[in-house]
Amino acid sequence: MRVERFFSPEARASVERAVAAAEARSLGQIVPVVVARSASYHEAPFAAALFAGALATAVVLLFRVPVTLRELAVLQAAAAGLGALLARVPAVERFFAGDAALAAAAQARALRAFHAHGLHRTSRGTGVLVFASLLERRAVILGDHGIHEKMKEGEWQKAIEALVAGLRRGDPAAGFVAAVAVCGDRLAEHFPRDGSAPVNELPDDLRSDE
């Protein structure tokens, strides 16, 4: 799964325009970041292989298929190999990795991106990361201390839902645009732009991290 597949130059430009429009109404410094995946789930192929092998065994026992022990072993090995291969399919990998692992990986990767892109270094502590991980279909929004003091995590929920909806329908760029707009509304409410607002401290373009 490659980021470039989902983000044409036009799509990237639409995200950048959304960020500029949101920042024009508030003191927030929004940085959109997308990654292909947040982690490598090495346990997923093993889990899929075990499941497929067990399933093959269950079918043999349930339908009383006449096989020798050697034939059963070969069947189990073939099923396990097929299961491991199928774990390369994103939907299958997500299933066997599990929701908890996917969410934890996306959260940790978002925190790394927050620091890597300097969101903790704005003059008023108003950096906001809008993060998406394509494989996991997870979104995370993190605000720096200046934002976090006035806003609760629940206020980002609509933005997260908008971004996740875009990920699930295969249009993450539109998800970013919608999520950034929601963030802009919340930021304009709590941190309206004033005459002493700083210059644009962080670029508005979409970042694609490895």
What's this model's pTM, rounded to 2 decimal places?
0.92
Position 72 scores a pLDDT of 94
Residue 197 scores a pLDDT above 80: no
Cα–Cα nearest to 141, from 102, 184, 204, 201: 184
pLDDT in tens, 115-133: 999 999 998 899 999 999 9
Question: What was the pLDDT predicted at 203?
Answer: 93
pLDDT in tens, 139-195: 999 999 988 878 776 789 999 999 999 999 999 999 999 999 999 999 999 889 877
- Residue 127: strand, helix, or coil: strand
d(Cα 32, Cα 207) in Å, to the nearest integer? 6
Percent residues over pLDDT 70 in the chain: 97
How many Å apart are CA 129 and CA 109, to the nearest integer? 12
Instruction: Give the bridge partners for 33, in sequence order.
Output: 131, 207
Look up tokens 């298929």; give the residue. Answer: 65
The predicted-structure confidence for 11-57, as pLDDT tens digits, reads as follows 999 999 999 999 999 999 999 999 999 999 999 999 999 999 999 99
Nearest to 203 by CA among 11, 2, 12: 12
Residue-range domain boundaries for the chain: 3-40+98-209, 43-97
pLDDT of res. 1: 75
| DSSP element (H, E) containing 32 | strand 29-35
Count Cβ atoms below 10 Å from residue 162 Cβ, excluding itself: 20
Both tokens of 120, joined, read 């903790």
User: Architecture of 3-40+98-209 per CATH?
Assistant: Roll (3.10)
Query: Tokens at residue 181, please?
Result: 């707009």
Confidence at residue 53, expressed as pLDDT on a 0 to 100 scale: 97
Q: Mean pLDDT across the chain, nearest whole number? A: 94
Count CB atoms within 10 A of the CB of residue 113.
22
